Amino acid sequence: MNELDDLLGRLEHDLPRPSRWLTVSLGTLSAVHMVVILPWLFGADPLNALATEVEGHVTRDGALSLVTASAGLITAAIPRWAGPGLAIAAVALAAQFVAGLFDSEGHRHLIGEPVHIPSILIAIGIAMVNRRPKPMGPRSLS
């Protein structure tokens, strides 16, 4: 064990942490979303959530949602990784948005788009975990 791990171990109870309900909710939502989207990676849709979409769209959305769900699970387990997790989730959501704008299928409806709501909620949850606490201790007078 190095010095940093030793210091973090001693300060674990004194350092501000995100609330337990937030990390449990984020982990649960991420895990459930991951179970739902895993079949999408293979072009399958057992819940018929994307009935109007083509296989390539389902696979792309599944892969990008898997990235967001993974970032949510990691952040729920290790809250201090919320910063990188938020960056990863934001890039995945941005890629999903840009890909949706330039879909070759020319979707003119938003019927299949509510399936992206869990990814957006996961990103919001990561951002809430990433919220910086107020400084501890006295303020500097300089």
Alpha helix (H) ranges present in 12-137?
Answer: 20-37, 55-77, 82-101, 117-130
Query: Where in the chain are the domains?
Result: 18-102+112-130
Return the percent helix, strand and coil in the chain, to nearest 5.
70, 0, 30
For residue 121, pLDDT over 60 is answered with yes
* Structural tokens at position 28: 């649960």
For residue 52, pLDDT over 60 is answered with no
Which residue's entry shows tokens 């300089």? 142
- Whole-model pTM over 0.95: no
Indicate the Cα dihedral angle 65, 66, 68, 74, nearest 10°: 160
Local confidence band at 94 (pLDDT 50, 70, 90 cut-offs): very high
Which residue's entry shows tokens 């999408």? 40
